[in-house]
Amino acid sequence: MENRLRPLREARGLSQAECAEALGVTRQTVISIEKGHFDPRLSLAFRISRLFGVPVDELFISEE
């Protein structure tokens, strides 16, 4: 699943470590989500959505 985490994070001026801390996960988790290697759980997806003020369906784009 593709996502817009990286552009949103960079637009906010957050490092991966700062983003990870704000979301309560590890930096590696943020890296893996940005690379599309890891699809987060719904609860984490909603925290990302709240952090950046973007609806979940605009944050994650299904490849289907």
Cα(33)–Cα(6) distance, rounded to whole angstroms?
A: 9
Among 12, 15, 17, 24, binds another protein (CB under 8 A): 24
Sort residue 2 into left (φ over 0), alpha (ψ -120 to 50) or beta.
beta
Q: Which is nearer to another protein, 11 or 40 (CB)?
A: 40
Sort residue 38 into left (φ over 0), alpha (ψ -120 to 50) or beta.
beta
Rule CB under 8 A: say whether 29 interacts with another protein: yes
Rule CB under 8 A: say whether 32 interacts with another protein: yes
Q: Which residues bind another protein (CB under 8 A)?
A: 20, 23-26, 28-29, 31-33, 35, 37-38, 40-41, 43-44
